[in-house]
Structure 1
Amino acid sequence: MTNSDQSISINRAKGARIPPFAYALTVCVGVIGSNSLALGPIAPAVAINLATDVPSVMMASAAFGLGTAASAIFLGRLIDRYGPRLMLVTALLLLTAGLAGSAVAPALVYLVASQLVVGLAAGIALPSIYTLASVIAPPGRESETIGLVLTGWTLSMVAGVPISAAIADFAGWRMVYAIVALATLAACGAVSLAPAREGPSGKATSPLAALGVPGVAPLLIACAAFMAAFYGVYAYIGEHLHSALGLPVSANGLVAASYGLGFGAAAFLDRLIDRFGAGRLLPRIFVAVACAYGALAIASGSYVAMLVVVFFWGLANHFGLNVMIMRLTGLDPSRRGAIMGLNSGVTYLSLFAGTLGFGAVYAGLSFVALPLAAAGLMLVAAIAAAVARR
C-alpha cells in the first residue's frame, strides 16, 4: 500500500461514525451512577421510613462501594474469558434484581444486602462497559467514543440526583429504586439486541498477572491518587457550603450540576486527545487538575467563585478519566477486562480511603486543606503517569 493509500484509509477511519451501541453504554453508566449517587439525597427519607438514622442508612452506600471493588478486582478477569457483552448483560440483570430488592427492603439490613448485590453487579458492569467502549470505537475516534460513554456520569449527576430527590419527595424513596431498576432492565435489553463487535474471547487472567503488564501498576497508582482526590474533596463540599458559608443544603445541588456540566462539556473536545496522543497528554492533564484544586482552595470563600471553578474541575476530570481509560485499555488487549477490573476496584477502594482520610483532615483543619491535599495527590498522579509512559 502506498503512503497515499494509507492516508486515505486513515482519513476514512477517522470519519467513521461512532456506533449507536455507544449510546446504550452511556445509559448503562447513567443508571449505575444514579444508584451510587442517589442514596445521599434521599437518606433522610429512608431513615424515617426504616426507623433508623442517616449514618446507619449510609452503610448501604459503603456496602455498594466495597461490593463494587471486590467484584471488579476478582471477577473482572471473567470479561476476557466470556466476552464483555455477555458479562455486561449478566451484570445488568443482577443489578436489576439488587435495585428491586432495595425498592422493597422492609428493614435496613435488607437494604444493605441489596446494595451489596448492586455493588457486585456494578463491579462487573463498569469494566465491561469501558472494555466495550474501547473495542467498538472507530480507529482514530477512541477518545470521542470513550468520552461519549463517560457522559453517563454527567446524566446521573445533572439529572439523576435532582430527579431522585424530587421522586422521593412526591412518590417516596422506594420509587427511586424501582424506576432505576426499570431503566436498568431497558438498558439490558438494548445491550442484548444492539449489533456491535466485541472482540474475541480469550482466557481469564488473574489480577496479579494483569498487574504485571508493563505500565499497569503506575497507571493504577495514578488512578488511586486521582480518585482519592476527587472523592475526598467532593464528599465535603456540601458541608463546607453549609457550615462555613451559611448556605442551605440545597446549594450543593448547583455544585453537582456545575461539575456535571463541565464534565459533559469536555466531551465536545475529546477529539483533541486523539490528535495529540493519550500518553503524552495524561501527565499534563493531571497537572491541570492539580491547578483546578489550587483554584478551588482560593475560591472556597465565595459560592459563585466555587461554582465557576467546579465547572472547570469537571472539565479537567473528564479528560483525566478518559485518557486514563484509553491508556489502560491499550496496554494489553488480551487482558483488557482484567485490567479494567483492577481499575474499577482501585476506584472504589480510593472512594473509601479518600472519604475517610480527607474526613480526618477536614475535622482537624478546614476545607481549604482538602483541595490543597488533592493537588498534592494529583502531582503524584502526574509523576506516575509519566513513568507509565516510559
Structure 2
Amino acid sequence: MTNIDQSISSLSGRTRIPPFALVLTTCIGVIGSNSLALGPIAPEVAQNLAATVPAIMTASAAFGLGTAASAVFLGRLIDRHGPRRMLISALVLLAAGLAGSAVAPVLAVLVATQFVVGIATGIALPAIYTLASLIAPAGRESETIGLVLTGWTLSMVAGVPLSAAIADFAGWRTIYAVIAAATLVVCAAVRFSPAHEVFSGKTTSPLAALGVPGVAPLLLACSVFMAAFYGVYAFLGDHLHTTLGLPVSANGVIAVFYGIGFGSSAFLDRFIDRFGAGRLLAPAFLIVAGIYAMMAAASGSYVALLAIVFLWGLANHAGLNLLIMRLTALAPDRRGAIMGLNSGVTYVALFVGTIGFGAVYDGVAFHILPLAAAGLMLIAALAAAAARR
C-alpha cells in the first residue's frame, strides 16, 4: 500500500527503520501534549473559568467524543487518499482548534474547540499508526511501532510538565497557543519529508472492518484498557492537589515518571517481535491490572505513586504496542479503517472513562478508581485471549 524510504544499513546488514518514523514520533508527541494536558492543569482552568474540575474535564470528554466520531467515520478515508495526505490535513485542523482553545472565554467555547481538536485527532492518529505499520521493515514491526509510540513519552516527559509549569507562571491559555504553533511545525515536517506513497483509492465501511475476524474482541480489549487509563489519569492530578495538598507542578512530575516508564519499555519491543504479539497481549493486560491494584494501595503516598506510575507507563506501552500490532496485522488492505475503529473506540473510552470515573470520584476516595481500573483490565485480558483463539 505504501513504501516510504526503507533503507538498508550497510554496517549491521539489518533493514534500518526509516527516519520518517521520527517525524511520526514527533506528531504523536504534539497530539499527546493536548490529549494529556488538561488533567494536570484542570484546577487552574477551573479557577479561571469559574467552574469545577469535573465540569472542566467535560472538555476532555468532548475531545474524546470528537476523536471517536471522526476516527470511525473519517478514518476509512485514509485507505482512499493515503495516510500521509490525511495526516497533513488533520494537523492543520488541529492547529486551528488549539488556537481556539487558547482564546476560549467560557467553558462552553473550550468544550467546542476541544471537540474540533478531537475531530482532527481522530484522523491523525489512525493515519500515524497506519504509516508506522507500513514503513516498518520486516522483522522490526514492533520496534518501529514502539519508536512511534514513544511520542507519547515526549508529551509526558516534556509536554505535560512544561504545560504544568506554564500554567503556574504564564497561565493555561499559553499552553494551547504553544501546542498550536508546534502542530504547524510538525505539519511542515510531514509535508516536506521525502516519501513515496501508494494507496488503494478504496474505502472500507466501519461495519465491514468490524467483521474482520479478531477485530471485535480486540476492540473490546482496547475500550476497557483505555477507559481504565483515562479514568484514572484524569483525576490523579486533582487527587494530588486536593487530597495530598501538592502544587500543580507536582502533577507534572507524575507525568514525567509515567513518560519515562512508557519510553523505557521500548527496549522490550524486539522481544515482542521474537515471541509474537498474540501470545503476549493477555499477560500484558494482567500485569497492568496488578499495577492498578498497587496504585490503590499506595494512593496516600506521593513517593510510592511515583514508583508505581513508572511501572504503569512501562506496562501500558507494551500493551498498546501489542494491541496495535495485532490489529494492523489482521487485514493489511483495511488498515486505515481498522485503525480508525481503534482510535474511535479509544476515545469513546476516554469519554466514558472520564465521565464514569468522574461520577465515582465525586462520592468516594481516589483509591476506588484504580481498583475499578484493575477490574476493567481483567476484562481486557479475557478479550485478548478470546481474540487469539
- Per the normalisation by structure 2, the TM-score is 0.90
Gaps spanning 5+ residues in structure 1: where? 1-8
Q: How far off its partner does 1:370 sit?
A: 2.4
Q: How far off its partner does 1:49 sit?
A: 5.6
Question: Do 1:13 and 1:140's aligned partners in 2 also have CA atoms closer than 8 Å?
Answer: no
Counterpart AA for 2:135: I
1:228 alignment partner in structure 2? 227
1:102 alignment partner in structure 2? 101
Check 1:104–1:232 CA distance in 2 against 1; reply closer, same or farther (3 A cut): closer
1:262 alignment partner in structure 2? 261
Structure 2 distance, partners of 1:92, 1:60, is 20
Question: Do 1:135 and 1:199's aligned partners in 2 also have CA atoms closer than 8 Å?
Answer: no
1:324 alignment partner in structure 2? 323
Counterpart AA for 2:87: L
Question: Do 2:58 and 2:355's aligned partners in 1 also have CA atoms closer than 8 Å?
Answer: no
Counterpart AA for 2:319: G
Structure 1 distance, partners of 2:308, 2:13, is 33
Structure 1 distance, partners of 2:267, 2:310, is 15
Check 1:55–1:150 CA distance in 2 against 1; reply closer, same or farther (3 A cut): same
2:181 alignment partner in structure 1? 182
The 5 A counterparts of 1:207-286 are 207-286=206-285
Task: Point out the structure with max Rg over C-alpha.
Answer: 1
Percent of aligned pairs with the same amino acid = 74
Structure 2 distance, partners of 1:283, 1:107, is 43
Q: How far off its partner does 1:42 sit?
A: 4.2
Alpha-carbon RMSD across the aligned residues, in angstroms, is 2.5
**Cα deviation per residue 1:170-192 (whole Å; 9 max; x = unaligned)?**
44433322221121111111111
Please state whether the residue corresponding to 1:270 is helix, strand or coil.
helix
Counterpart AA for 2:217: P
Q: How far off its partner does 1:34 sit?
A: 0.9
Q: How far off its partner does 1:82 sit?
A: 0.9
Question: Do 2:80 and 2:199's aligned partners in 1 also have CA atoms closer than 8 Å?
Answer: no
2:288 alignment partner in structure 1? 289
Please state whether the residue corresponding to 2:150 is helix, strand or coil.
helix
The 5 A counterparts of 1:1-390 are 15-43=14-42, 46=45, 56-390=55-389
2:3 alignment partner in structure 1? none
Check 1:28–1:161 CA distance in 2 against 1; reply closer, same or farther (3 A cut): same
Check 1:57–1:243 CA distance in 2 against 1; reply closer, same or farther (3 A cut): closer
Question: Do 2:164 and 2:249's aligned partners in 1 also have CA atoms closer than 8 Å?
Answer: no
Q: How far off its partner does 1:109 sit?
A: 4.0
Check 1:251–1:219 CA distance in 2 against 1; reply closer, same or farther (3 A cut): same
Structure 2 distance, partners of 1:291, 1:51, is 38
Structure 2 distance, partners of 1:351, 1:104, is 24
Question: Do 1:14 and 1:138's aligned partners in 2 also have CA atoms closer than 8 Å?
Answer: no
Question: Do 1:222 and 1:381's aligned partners in 2 also have CA atoms closer than 8 Å?
Answer: yes
Gaps spanning 5+ residues in structure 2: where? 1-7
Check 1:273–1:164 CA distance in 2 against 1; reply closer, same or farther (3 A cut): same
Structure 2 distance, partners of 1:110, 1:369, is 32
**How many residues are paired up?**
381
Q: How far off its partner does 1:302 sit?
A: 2.7
1:6 alignment partner in structure 2? none
Check 1:161–1:372 CA distance in 2 against 1; reply closer, same or farther (3 A cut): same
Greater displacement, 52-61 / 198-207: 52-61
Counterpart AA for 1:146: I
Counterpart AA for 2:152: W
Counterpart AA for 1:178: A
Q: How far off its partner does 1:366 sit?
A: 3.2
Structure 2 distance, partners of 1:377, 1:43, is 25
Structure 2 distance, partners of 1:239, 1:111, is 19
Check 1:240–1:52 CA distance in 2 against 1; reply closer, same or farther (3 A cut): closer
**Cα deviation per residue 1:312-362 (whole Å; 9 max; x = unaligned)?**
111011000001001001110111111111111111111121223233444
Q: How far off its partner does 1:16 sit?
A: 1.4
Greater displacement, 17-26 / 368-377: 368-377
Q: How far off its partner does 1:78 sit?
A: 0.6
Question: Do 1:14 and 1:141's aligned partners in 2 also have CA atoms closer than 8 Å?
Answer: no
Question: Do 1:158 and 1:257's aligned partners in 2 also have CA atoms closer than 8 Å?
Answer: yes
Structure 2 distance, partners of 1:239, 1:177, is 20
